[in-house]
Amino acid sequence: SLPPSPRRRPGMQGRPAVLRAFPSVSSEVSASGARRWLLFAAAVTSIGLLSGVVFGWSPMRRILRRDNVLVDRCEKGAEDAGPCDAQELALGLIYTMGSWSNQFARLPVGIFLDRCGPRITVAASSLAMAAGSIIFGLTSELPGLVAGF
């Protein structure tokens, strides 16, 4: 007594052959289609919102210069002449450390993702991003700017 062929089961006629072969999976796949699109949209949105941290450094650097952040590193009287070398080096250090840590974190975050799953990884990453943004926004000293970026 073999089970009936998947082609003869009710409700299976309009489905692809792969899904007809596995009827218990086919209902899960069709039900999770909307969820997959929602997850895709959330991923694209988070990438769009968070990628500006590194790629948006050029305008951020202009804003930091305009607001005289790290201008205390310049020699006395040189503040009004524009950005000095010491200020530019400090701003370059912030970008270098932020970019390096962004690239370096891929391996540990990947391991964390494999061990803890995507929900916990996304939540932890979002909290770290929020904490870094708050630190970067509240400080004007080099160590805080490096840690926040």
Q: Report pLDDT digits (tens) over 43-94.
A: 888 777 777 666 778 888 888 888 888 888 888 765 566 678 888 999 999 9
pLDDT over threshold 90, residue 115: yes
Contact 145, 69 (CB under 8 A): yes
45-80 exposure pattern, b = at least 16 Cβ within 10 A, e = fewer: eeeeeeeebeeebeebbeebbeeebbbebbeeeeee
pLDDT over threshold 90, residue 135: yes
User: What's the pLDDT score for residue 111?
Assistant: 94
Give CA torsion, residues 52, 57, 58, 63, to 10 deg. Answer: 100
- The amino acid present at 5, given as its one-letter code, is S
What the block records as the tokens of 110 is 């990947």
What the block records as the tokens of 122 is 């996304």
